[in-house]
């Protein structure tokens, strides 16, 4: 076995000690940073105001691509408009999301709102991946590199799904409308279903008509 001099041993020990202290200090420093990137980001405040038509079209396309079934789009539009005009941060968030969605769709040469459902879902997948990353390392990576997409997942996609669950979801499981919505008004505002034939039932007979 090769002998190590006392001086060499102290040099190696010194390097190891410095490395250990440096590593421990870096770990302590990284803990609050790691905690920050593991936490879901809060929506930064910004000015409120109306949405432009292009941004609204992206939000409408996101809704239909995400839900993948016919819905009453008007209350989603009202939802987006109200948040944009009344809750600080949403107007800027919606505009940034529209720009990011269009940029991600640039490879196909078609704006996000004009693309097909498959292309739109490909873009939305980035939101899902960022918002549903498994494990602390992946969550920290998403928090560091995909923080905006985390915001899109939390404050756009999840809220669309939540609104669906509270409204159109009731209709899809068999109810005429959802809680709090006037049935007559809802039915009146729906287009006629041309796929259904005339409803079968007993024939009404007037007072002066012969009965069988």
Higher pLDDT, 158 or 16: 158
Taking 70 as the threshold, does the pLDDT of residue 163 lie above it? Answer: yes
How many angstroms separate the CA atoms of 44 and 50, rounded?
18
How many angstroms separate the CA atoms of 132 and 141, rounded?
12
- Residue 99's nearest CA partner among 53, 152, 55, 60 is 55
How many angstroms separate the CA atoms of 185 and 190, rounded?
9
Segment 125-161, tens digit of pLDDT: 877 665 454 445 444 444 444 568 888 988 999 999 9
DSSP, collapsed to helix, strand or coil, labels residue 77 as: helix
How many angstroms separate the CA atoms of 131 and 164, rounded?
19
Q: What share of the chain is helix, strand, coil (3-state, %, to 5)?
A: 65, 0, 35
CA 199, chain centre distance (Å)? 40
Residue 201: CB atoms within 10 A of its CB come to 6
Q: Which residue has the tokens 């997409």?
A: 149
Tokens of 96: 């940034």
pLDDT, average across residues 193-197: 48
Please provide residue 195's backbone torsions phi and psi, each rounded to the nearest 5 degrees: -80, -15
Please provide residue 178's backbone torsions phi and psi, each rounded to the nearest 5 degrees: -105, 165
How many angstroms separate the CA atoms of 70 and 2, rounded?
78
Segment 83-129, tens digit of pLDDT: 999 999 999 999 999 999 999 998 888 999 999 999 999 989 877 66
How many angstroms separate the CA atoms of 19 and 83, rounded?
51
């Amino acid at each position: 076995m090769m002998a190590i001099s006392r001086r060499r041993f102290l040099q190696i020990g010194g390097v190891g000690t410095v490395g250990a202290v440096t590593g421990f200090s870096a770990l302590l420093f990284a803990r609050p940073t790691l905690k920050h990137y593991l936490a879901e980001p809060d929506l930064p405040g910004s000015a409120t105001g109306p949405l432009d038509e292009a941004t609204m079209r992206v939000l409408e396309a996101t809704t239909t691509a995400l839900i993948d079934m016919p819905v009453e789009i008007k209350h989603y539009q009202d939802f987006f408009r109200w948040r944009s005009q009344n809750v600080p941060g949403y107007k800027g968030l919606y505009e940034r999301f529209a720009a990011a969605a269009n940029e991600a769709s640039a490879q196909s040469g078609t704006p996000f709102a004009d693309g097909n459902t498959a292309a739109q879902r490909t873009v939305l997948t980035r939101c899902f991946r960022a918002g549903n990353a498994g494990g602390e390392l992946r969550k920290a990576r998403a928090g560091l590199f995909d923080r905006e997409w985390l915001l899109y997942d939390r404050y756009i996609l999840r809220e669309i799904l939540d609104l669906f669950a509270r409204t159109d979801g009731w209709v899809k499981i068999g109810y005429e409308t959802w809680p709090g919505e006037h049935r007559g008004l809802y039915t009146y505002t729906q287009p006629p279903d041309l796929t259904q034939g005339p409803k079968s039932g007993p024939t009404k007979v007037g007072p002066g008509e012969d009965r069988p």
